[in-house]
């Protein structure tokens, strides 16, 4: 992979004529504005040059934000509210779900098919965190993975290169996973700690030698470094503008910011959405994407979980090889970028974790983290058997 080419470098997207945003285009899709005052810090627009609300047209109710916010997570199971540790998703045991599974078959039922694909290949495993390794809960600070899940992931990493790719900051996700034998990509892939790769290090300015939690030599890749001050600034602003909204929570994930509304009364979702939307008019080089009851504010760079998968495969020396099968398991919209990369490059497979029907670029599905655990457990068992068969310990 040539890091000098635009294929891998996180090039900012091209500017689009201003009138597009005036036509009510969702600002989460609105591009970097080359007209911005270059004397400002990265991402910040001058007030006079900022995109203002266009008399109701540029309003979260009419531009699709509110719909996306409403649709961003399975509805709650009745009676779940209260405990912060309770799982907040529902099982949609309808006929519809089973019909949907014809298109996205269960990875458990298809296990043999998957391992047939993996025969004589090296699997590279990529795992999302929230909603995949840990259940979705009301309090993001209490989204713990179970000890049994941790044990299985640790075992898996003995046999396969395994990476966690999360929207959380790398440090936060490491604190939750606590496994030194994995690779980590935080901030939706904008903060990667991976193996040393001579080819990559020669070609990329954002690639620096580092040491991991065990003091082992690794490399750090942070394609959005220049955005650190602006992310900090927008984080503080978002805290300020949401402080009167009960239940709102803002998290700083170093290269991106999360604004949670899971615990906000539904009749205040428009307010929270509108305020975030309006603030982003001052930051044309930042955009928002929709996660599970969360708005994620991130730099407008051509980098996402899909690019992180490509990057890690390259760092592991596993790219452009027919004997590699990457598997990515994730539950969220941001994981779709990774599913898409695997689907479009005709290698590996995406597994969507969902208990409700969703359009996806994944090939298979698993209902919830419990099924993820069963799948990973089967994989460990299968790898063990394979190694025994091939005479390894």
Q: Interaction with ligand L263DTV3 in 329-368: which residues (CB under 6 A)? A: 332, 334
Does the footprint of ligand L263DTV3 cover residue 189 (CB under 6 A)? no
The whole-angstrom separation of Cα 127 and Cα 107 is: 14
Does the footprint of ligand L263DTV3 cover residue 251 (CB under 6 A)? yes
Residue 168, Cβ density class (10 Å: 0-12 exposed, 13-18 middle, ≥19 buried): buried
Does the footprint of ligand L263DTV3 cover residue 369 (CB under 6 A)? no
Name which of 192, 233, 221, 186 is nearest 42 in CA terms: 233
The whole-angstrom separation of Cα 220 and Cα 170 is: 11
Is the CB of 292 or the CB of 307 nearer to ligand L263DTV3?
292
C-alpha radius of gyration, the chain, whole number? 21
Minimum Å distance from CB 370 to ligand L263DTV3? Answer: 15
Region from 24-32, 153-161, 230-238, 292-300 binding ligand L263DTV3, contact rule CB under 6 A:
292-300
Does the footprint of ligand L263DTV3 cover residue 166 (CB under 6 A)? yes
Region from 24-32, 50-58, 135-143, 148-156 binding ligand L263DTV3, contact rule CB under 6 A:
135-143
Q: Which of 59, 130, 310, 337 binds ligand L263DTV3 (CB under 6 A)?
A: 130
Does the footprint of ligand L263DTV3 cover residue 273 (CB under 6 A)? no
Q: Which of 170, 204, 290, 292 binds ligand L263DTV3 (CB under 6 A)?
A: 292
The whole-angstrom separation of Cα 275 and Cα 288 is: 12
Q: Which of 31, 42, 74, 140 binds ligand L263DTV3 (CB under 6 A)?
A: 140
Minimum Å distance from CB 164 to ligand L263DTV3? Answer: 8
Q: Please, which contacts does 7-12 make with residues 24 or more away whose CB atoms are closer than 8 Å? A: 8/204, 8/307, 8/310, 8/311, 8/314, 9/204, 9/223, 9/302, 10/206, 10/223, 10/224, 10/301, 10/302, 10/303, 10/307, 11/301, 11/302, 12/285, 12/300, 12/301, 12/302
Does the footprint of ligand L263DTV3 cover residue 51 (CB under 6 A)? no
Site string for ligand L263DTV3, 78-117 (x = CB under 6 A): ----------------------------------------
> Residue 281, SS3?
coil
Is the CB of 59 or the CB of 251 nearer to ligand L263DTV3?
251
Does the footprint of ligand L263DTV3 cover residue 272 (CB under 6 A)? no
Does the footprint of ligand L263DTV3 cover residue 136 (CB under 6 A)? yes
Spatial strand order of the sheet with 191-194 comes to 207-211, 217-221, 191-194, 183-186, 162-165, 122-127, 324-330, 349-353, 364-366
Is the CB of 136 or the CB of 324 nearer to ligand L263DTV3?
136
Minimum Å distance from CB 260 to ligand L263DTV3? Answer: 6
**DSSP secondary structure code for residue 287 in this structure:** E
Minimum Å distance from CB 139 to ligand L263DTV3? Answer: 6
Does the footprint of ligand L263DTV3 cover residue 138 (CB under 6 A)? yes
> Residue 300, SS3?
coil
12 within 8 A of 301, measured Cβ to Cβ:
yes
Does the footprint of ligand L263DTV3 cover residue 169 (CB under 6 A)? no
Name which of 223, 352, 227 is nearest 297 in CA terms: 227
> What Å distances lie between residue 310 and 59, 103, 326, 339, 342, CA to CA?
36, 26, 10, 11, 9
Contact positions vs ligand L263DTV3 (CB under 6 A): 128-131, 136-138, 140, 143, 166-168, 251, 253, 258, 260, 262, 291-294, 296, 332, 334
């Amino acid at each position: 992979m040539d890091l000098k080419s635009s294929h891998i470098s996180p090039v900012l997207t091209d500017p689009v004529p201003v009138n597009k945003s005036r036509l009510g285009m969702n600002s989460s899709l609105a591009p970097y504005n080359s007209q911005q005052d270059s004397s400002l810090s990265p991402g910040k627009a001058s007030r006079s040059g900022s995109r203002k609300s266009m008399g109701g047209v540029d309003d979260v109710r009419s531009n699709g934000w509110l719909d996306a916010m409403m649709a961003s997570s399975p509805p709650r199971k009745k009676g779940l509210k209260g405990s912060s540790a309770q799982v907040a998703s529902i099982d949609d045991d309808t006929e519809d779900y089973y019909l949907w599974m014809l298109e996205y078959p269960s990875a458990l039922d298809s296990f043999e098919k998957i391992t047939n694909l993996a025969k004589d290949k090296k699997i590279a495993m990529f795992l999302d965190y929230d909603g995949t390794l840990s259940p979705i809960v009301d309090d993001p600070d209490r989204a713990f993975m179970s000890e049994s899940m941790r044990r299985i992931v640790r075992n898996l990493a003995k046999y396969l290169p395994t990476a966690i790719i999360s929207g959380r900051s790398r440090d936060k996700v490491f604190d939750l996973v606590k496994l030194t034998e994995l690779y980590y990509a935080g901030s939706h892939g904008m903060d990667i700690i991976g193996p040393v790769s001579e080819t990559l290090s020669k070609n990329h300015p954002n690639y620096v030698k580092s040491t991991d939690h065990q003091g082992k030599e690794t490399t750090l890749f942070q394609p959005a470094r220049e955005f650190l001050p602006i992310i900090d600034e927008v984080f503080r602003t978002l805290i300020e503008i949401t402080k009167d909204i009960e239940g709102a929570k803002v998290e700083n994930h170093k290269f991106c910011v999360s604004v949670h509304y899971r615990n906000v009364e539904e009749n205040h979702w428009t307010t929270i959405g509108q305020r975030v939307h309006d603030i982003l008019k001052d930051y044309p080089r930042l955009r928002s994407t929709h996660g599970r009851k969360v708005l994620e504010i991130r730099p407008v760079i051509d980098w996402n979980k899909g690019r992180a998968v490509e990057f890690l495969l390259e760092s592991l020396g596993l790219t452009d090889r027919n004997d590699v099968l990457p598997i990515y398991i994730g539950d969220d919209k941001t994981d779709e970028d990774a599913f898409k990369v695997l689907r479009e490059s005709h290698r590996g497979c995406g597994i969507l974790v969902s208990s409700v029907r969703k359009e996806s670029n994944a090939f298979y599905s698993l209902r919830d983290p419990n099924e993820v655990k069963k799948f990973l457990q089967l994989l460990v068992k299968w790898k063990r058997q394979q190694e025994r068969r091939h005479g390894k310990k």
